[in-house]
Chains A and B, each alone.
Chain A
Amino acid sequence: MLSLDQVSVTFNAGTPNEVRALRDISLLVEDGEFVTVIGSNGAGKSTLFNVISGAVQPDSGRITLDQEDITYQPEYRRSHDIGRVFQDPRLGTCPGLTIRENLSLAAIHGRNAGFRRDVKMAQETWFFEQLERQHLGLERRLDADVALLSGGQRQAITLVMATLTKPKLLLLDEHTAALDPNAAEQVIALTQELAEANDLCVVMITHSMQQACDLGDRVIMMNRGRIEFEIAGEERKNLQPADLIDRFHSLADGTELTDAQLLG
C-alpha cells in the first residue's frame, strides 16, 4: 500500500522562477490497485513519480510504502521495493549488455550485489519463461545486445525486469508514449497481464484517454500540482474517453494551455 500525506514540492523556492510542482498531495493506493494518472504538461505528474521514487525530495509531507516511511530514503534504497518503467525505452535497459545480463541485474533487485556469479545457470529457465510469455521471441535471443532491440522490445524487457522480483509498487511513466501503435498495444497487454499475475500496486501516467479508460480501477486527474478529481467505482466502469476529454477541457478554461490546444 502506497500512501502520500500532504506532500508538497517547490522548485526554485524564493526566486522569481518558483514553481509549486506539488501542492499538499494526498493519495492512497491499495495493494492490487491499478491507478492511472492524467493531466496536462506541467500538471505535476512526473514530479509525483519523482517524489515517490526518490529522485526529488519533498518540502513537506510524508510518503509511506507498506507502513514504512520512505520520505527521505535515498533513491536506490527505496528502489528495492519499487519497479519503474520510463517513457524513454533507452532508460530502462542497459545497452552493451545482453538481455540475459540485463535480466540478471534485475534479479538482484531488492537486495545487495555480492560476489556471486552474475549470470546464474539456475535462472536460465526462469528468464526463458518470463520472456516466452510475451510472445516476442526474445527468449531465443538471450545473448543479444539490448542495444540491437527495437523500442517496443526494450520496453517489454524493462517491464519484465521491473516486475521480475515482485516489487511492492510499479510506476509506469507514459511507458508507451514513444512506441508505435502496434508495439504500444503489445506493451499495454503485457502491463495488464503482469499487474494481474503479480497482484501489484500500479500507478501509471498516460496521455492517452483511451488507456486511462481501459486500464486500472481508478483515474486521477492532476492540474497545477493538485489532484483535481478522481473517478472510481461505478462511474469509472462506464467511463468513455470523450467524457474525460470534456472534463479535461472544463478544467483548462482560462489560464492553462491544454495539450489539445498546443497540438492545434
Chain B
Amino acid sequence: MTATAAATTQPQASGLSANRRFILRGILLALVVAGFMSVGNVNIGAIGQGLGYALAGVTVFMTFRVLGFVDLTVDGAFPIGGAACAILIVNGHSPEYAMLMGFVAGALTGMATALIDIIFKIEGLLASIIVITAAYTVTLHVMEGKSNIPLLGQETLISRHSKAFRTWLVEQFGDQMRRQSTNLLEIILFGFIVLIVLGILYWFLRTEIGLAIRATGKNPQMVRATGLNHNLMIVIGLMVANGLAGVAGSLVVQQFGFADVSLGFGLIVRGLAAVIIGEVLLRPRTVGQLLIAAVTGMLVFDISRAWIFSALDLPTTDIQFVSALVVLAALGTPRLYDRWKAYRLRHGG
C-alpha cells in the first residue's frame, strides 16, 4: 500500500510543477499582450470579440486535435447556430433558450458530417464541404428566407444588462468609462459563458465517453478492439464540437446585433490559427491546458489583428486579408523557426 501511495504522489508532484509552468507562461503572455494593447492603443473590444469566437476555436481543437478528424463543418455550424439564436430572439424567446438552440443547431450540423463520413465512407474533409454547402441553404431557411436578421431593439444577453451596467460603471469610475461600458460588459458576460462551457467540456472529456473519444482520435483500431463503437464516438465528438460552434455563433450574433448567412466565412482558418497560436505560446500538456490554450489562441488572434489595424490605420474592408496574414504568421513562424535551427546546426552558428 505504501508503494501505491508513492506511485500516486510522485507523478502528481511533477504534474503540479508542469501546471505551475503553464500558469507562469499564461501570466507572462497576458502581460505581453496587455503591454501591446496599451502601447498600440488597441481597443478592449478586441478581447470581447475574441471571447465571442473562442468556442469556435475549441471546435477546431476538438475535431482536429482530439478526434483527429479533418472537419470544416465549423464554417456551416457557426452561422446556423447564430441564425437559430437570432430568429428565436426576434420571436420573443429568451437569449438563454435561443443559445441552447444555437448549440442544438450546430450539433445537428456536426452530426450530418459524421453520418456522411460513416455511412458513405466519404472522408471528413469532403463530407464537411458537402455539409457546408447544404448548410448555407438551411441557414437561409432558418432565417425565414432573409440573408440578414437585425437584432436592434431586441432583448439579447448584452442589451438586457447594458443600461444597468453603464449606470453602475459611471457611478463607480466616472463618466470616462461610458464609452467602454458595452465592451466591458461583453468581456464579463462572454468570459463567464466561455468559462462555464470549458468547465462542462473538461468534465465531459474526462468521463468514460470522453476518454473513448480521445482514444478514437489516436487509435480507432484499439477502440474497436476494446469493444467500443468508435463510429458512435465520432458522432458524439463532432456533435459536441460543432454544438460549441453554434454557441459561438449565438454569442457573436448578439455581439454584432445581427445574424448573417455569411458569418462563418473563413472561420475554419481562424480556428486553426487559434489552436496553433495557443499551442505555440502556452505549450499545453493536459486536457484542461489544451482547452485553455485554444481559447487563449483565439484571444491573441483577435488582439493582434486589431493591433495591426490600428498600427497601420487600415480600413475595415481589408479585414479578411489581415486575417489571412495573421493565420499565415501563426502557421508559418514555427516552421520557419525549425528551418532556421536546422540551418544553424548545419553551418555551425
Interface, chain A (partner B; CB < 8 A): 53, 74-77, 79-84, 86, 90-97, 101, 104-106, 108-119, 124-125, 128, 132, 139-144, 161-162
The 5 closest A-B CB pairs, nearest first, are: A143-B11, A118-B211, A79-B227, A113-B208, A80-B227
Chain A residues with Cβ below 8 Å from B208 are 104, 108, 113-118
- Nearest residue (CB) in B for A81 is B227
Q: Is B310 an interface residue (CB 8 A)?
A: no
- Nearest residue (CB) in B for A116 is B208
Q: Is B210 an interface residue (CB 8 A)?
A: yes
CB distance from B31 to the nearest CB of A (A): 31
Complex contact A104–B211 (CB within 8 A): yes
Complex Cα–Cα for A141 and B11 (A)? 8
Complex Cα–Cα for A128 and B6 (A)? 11
Main secondary structure of the interface of B (DSSP, over half): helix
Chain B residues with Cβ below 8 Å from A115 are 207-209
Interface, chain B (partner A; CB < 8 A): 1, 3-4, 6-8, 10-12, 14-15, 206-212, 214-215, 218-219, 221-230
Complex Cα–Cα for A85 and B123 (A)? 28
Complex Cα–Cα for A75 and B210 (A)? 21
Complex Cα–Cα for A117 and B11 (A)? 19
Complex Cα–Cα for A137 and B228 (A)? 29
Chain A residues with Cβ below 8 Å from B210 are 118
Complex Cα–Cα for A186 and B225 (A)? 23
Complex contact A76–B10 (CB within 8 A): no
Complex contact A124–B4 (CB within 8 A): yes
- Nearest residue (CB) in B for A90 is B219
Task: Select the residue from A80, A101, A108, A114 with max chain B CB neighbours within 10 A.
Answer: A108
Chain B residues with Cβ below 8 Å from A80 are 227
Chain A residues with Cβ below 8 Å from B226 are 79, 105-106, 108-109, 161
Complex contact A91–B227 (CB within 8 A): no
Chain A residues with Cβ below 8 Å from B209 are 113-115
Which of A96, A110, A124 sits near B8, CB closer than 8 Å?
A124
Complex contact A108–B206 (CB within 8 A): no
Complex Cα–Cα for A124 and B3 (A)? 12
Task: Select the residue from B7, B206, B230 with max chain A CB neighbours within 10 A.
Answer: B7
Chain B residues with Cβ below 8 Å from A96 are 214, 218
Chain B residues with Cβ below 8 Å from A92 are 222, 225
- Nearest residue (CB) in B for A147 is B218
Chain B residues with Cβ below 8 Å from A141 are 11
Complex contact B7–A105 (CB within 8 A): no
